[in-house]
Structure 1
């Protein structure tokens, strides 16, 4: 076995049981056809949840027209889901570990479906944002349960790695296919259609899942209510500050207040988790270098890729003039690469361990972002087309080994918690990436555009208004300068490209540096610290 993939932690696994204490059938007894049906059910539900995370972006102009949302309102249509999803992921994983992964997964799928119906029927902006928040609750409940069920059903390490590869490929495909599916749906059936498509899939998933999914619930003792009450505001306030920072300004009262709340709640959360017998987050397993490297890898790939892909959409639409549908279809090469690379990555992780595919994926992502920085406002699709498969392949190679590394190093009783921590890191990486790379882009855009407008002898007051308009929405304001004089539009586009290139270089450096760090941390088999059967730390030699 590869030195960076030591396999499950030694020790007997407790028999699976329901919350009432009655043992269920051992997952290893499931035959191949039933395992395939279980995996398909989990993947379909996950695909819809991931798809909906991004498909809404194509519906935003229509939502703006129908509901008079405005820029701030549209931002919360997108971020209302992410805020609740990230804040409740850890809670969802803990609830599944304690009360049953199947039960919580199906409840999450039902809540997500109900939220989709609420969104589709929304007649006002507040109703739509509320529906998106309900979807976030459902997604936070079903995602950790999905991975922990795989951890139990696929007991062979190589078989599990292949299953996680398929699961990761479906997850990545859902994220990447969102723009390609959303554009035609909105054009043909209106914005509500991007929510209605979830309903039949959700209902079918609940019916099939009730039949085929096994039940596991292995944690006992008192529920960590203090951890819940501190963990949700810690993550939620942090995500809120990162979302509002670019729009309200990093020194605004709301942003600083949210950041202060996040810091206080996080410190208190860590203090509580170190003392309770059954913590929501067992901080001991984070001391394992392999787990730490995997979680950082997930954060880094989301930081670089989701941050950069957000601005890549602005580049294709606002600079190159693509329609939303055309921009969505232009991303298909990366989608196909994700779907191909993720299962291959699962096979590699099962054979040689997660280190090589994860480091390779981070490196490919870093090189691809650097490659995009060579193209400007006059580039044709054929010129930068080659970069997109590298982006997709890099992402596909990263997703699976991250999950494999974590799932192979924690005991089954904490599989939901471990999955939730991993996915919370990914979600935070995406939010931080958009905020940080957006700050880099808008900072460079502002200074460069000020210089160019001064060269054009634009009056200072007018120049300030143009700069403010261009930097709104993380640089997306340049798409609203169509009525401006040609020199102003040209200056704004040039400044945007300068800012975009700097943001791409920043993301590339982050990814390449993370590849080196992950390669170093996963170089051997360190001693690891995990929770024992009652939640207290226990040192084990890997």
Structure 2
């Protein structure tokens, strides 16, 4: 049972990031612009984030095993459809189907583990292994994606899921037990408003630079998002059984953890989307080289995770979270100093810094949930923070992509005017991925590459500034407070960030 659940979670997490190194090839073969490639990534993440909490509710209501198997079947079918896609639109639809499957199987996977392993020690080991395998999928995805694309083409990053999914279905049907269901009301208004609000916001941000910010469709969807998202918050605040429990955010320590998770995904997912385009389309690297270039970052994540756990147990979450955010902000800002002629040894220190910063933030968020929330509500808290992480990645790719696309269009138009190129060519190339212009005359191709690098530098600086602001906000939210006030989430005196080292906490016990 443990092997089945770990393997399927590894597959779902791997698929979240393995596609990044395939994006340049997808853009070249399917003739996708930057906005189309954004939707290939965003389609999966948006549906996954929007339905993650709903997946947990459906498992409680209709049976965790049944919903898990349904999710695994949908994910496997979506992977096959993505591999067979012959157009950008078909690929985006298949990625959304994958996101739906992942949202159904992820909550059920952890719930089944918690019920199967009844012994506290065994459960801690099982959940730890499950979490480690999930994190491993995120860490090795970019490294595996490059060689797979080089050897078998971009479709192989989706085909790899099919045999794993089929084997997982056969094993899960035999070994996973079913558990008693319990009546739980579906939060249909909250679900509808969240999907509508976030979907409209992401669409407006992605299509705005290409269509124009005054385009009627972009303005209409921006207006929908402006109305739907506040309405979602209002509905969740009044609901007796909300999809997103806003009571968690009355606790400033939990709020600080949520801000950290959201902003790390905002900055890092945005950077992870654009860097393969820079390395492969502009700098001429192969997918394998681009994937292996991330090994130092992956290694630092592995090193930093246990370090951050020890720091959190001794000093509370403030030090590792603020340090991690600051390091990531520094790394994004530093990346904007290097252009197409930079050599790998010059900026490998930036990748090490980024990996260290990311590794410092992962574990403290989970430990904070264990310390601040009643065990009965820990599942809801974990799902809430995981949803915010996914939404952070969705918004990060959309916002930084909007910055990049807008600057790219402006700079490219000016460069082509200086070259005397016709205005129709400039309009055609706005939003084009750099790799799609290789067949054009050398001056035009060089102008596209230069404009892309300039726009990427601006997007990276904006991401770095946002992470620096988040580091300051988290430092203020987690400031030391020696007075023990009752936690609004648990109802009992809450441990304060700097006072947690005085006695052994639940987090220290779980860490050992």
Instruction: Give the TM-score taking structure 2 as reference length.
Output: 0.81
Give the conservation status (yes or no) of the 8 Å contact 2:23–2:276. Answer: no
Aligned match of 1:138: 101
For residues 194-209 of structure 1, what are the structure 2 equivalents within 5 Å?
194-206=157-169
Q: 1:312 to 1:43 in 2, by over 3 A?
A: same
Give the conservation status (yes or no) of the 8 Å contact 1:437–1:506. Answer: yes
* RMSD of aligned Cα (Å): 3.7
Alignment counterpart, residue 458 of structure 1, candidates 413, 419, 422: 419
Gaps spanning 5+ residues in structure 2: where?
A: 495-512
Q: 1:310 to 1:230 in 2, by over 3 A?
A: closer
The C-alpha deviation readout for 1:384-425, integer Å capped at 9, x for no partner, is 112112212221221222233235433444444333322222
Alignment counterpart, residue 430 of structure 1, candidates 372, 377, 393: 393
Alignment counterpart, residue 358 of structure 2, candidates 395, 412, 427: 395
The 1-side partners of 2:159 and 2:448 are apart by 38
For residues 396-411 of structure 1, what are the structure 2 equivalents within 5 Å?
396-411=359-374
Aligned positions, number: 490
Residue 541 (str. 1) matches residue 493 (str. 2): yes
Range with greater deviation from structure 2 (490-499 or 132-141): 490-499
Q: 1:418 to 1:148 in 2, by over 3 A?
A: farther
Residue 483 (str. 1) matches residue 472 (str. 2): no
Alignment counterpart, residue 295 of structure 2, candidates 324, 332, 335: 332
Residue 131 of structure 1, CA deviation: 2.8
Residue 139 of structure 1, CA deviation: 1.1
The 2-side partners of 1:250 and 1:406 are apart by 40
For residues 129-208 of structure 1, what are the structure 2 equivalents within 5 Å?
129-146=92-109, 170-206=133-169
The 2-side partners of 1:313 and 1:75 are apart by 13
The C-alpha deviation readout for 1:283-336, integer Å capped at 9, x for no partner, is 212221122111111111111112122222222123322122221221222122
Give the conservation status (yes or no) of the 8 Å contact 2:434–2:452. Answer: no
For residues 33-432 of structure 1, what are the structure 2 equivalents within 5 Å?
38=2, 41-60=4-23, 75-99=38-62, 101=64, 103-122=66-85, 127-146=90-109, 170-206=133-169, 220-350=183-313, 352-432=315-395
Q: 1:312 to 1:169 in 2, by over 3 A?
A: farther
The 2-side partners of 1:211 and 1:121 are apart by 30
Q: 1:264 to 1:149 in 2, by over 3 A?
A: farther
Instruction: Give the TM-score taking structure 1 as reference length.
Output: 0.77
Residue 278 of structure 1, CA deviation: 1.9
* Secondary structure at 2:364 match in 1: helix
Give the conservation status (yes or no) of the 8 Å contact 2:57–2:184. Answer: no
The 2-side partners of 1:495 and 1:124 are apart by 27
Range with greater deviation from structure 2 (433-442 or 319-328): 433-442
The C-alpha deviation readout for 1:346-380, integer Å capped at 9, x for no partner, is 45445544333222221221122222223222111
Gaps spanning 5+ residues in structure 1: where?
A: 1-36, 531-537
The 2-side partners of 1:349 and 1:207 are apart by 41
The 2-side partners of 1:58 and 1:85 are apart by 20
Residue 257 of structure 1, CA deviation: 2.5
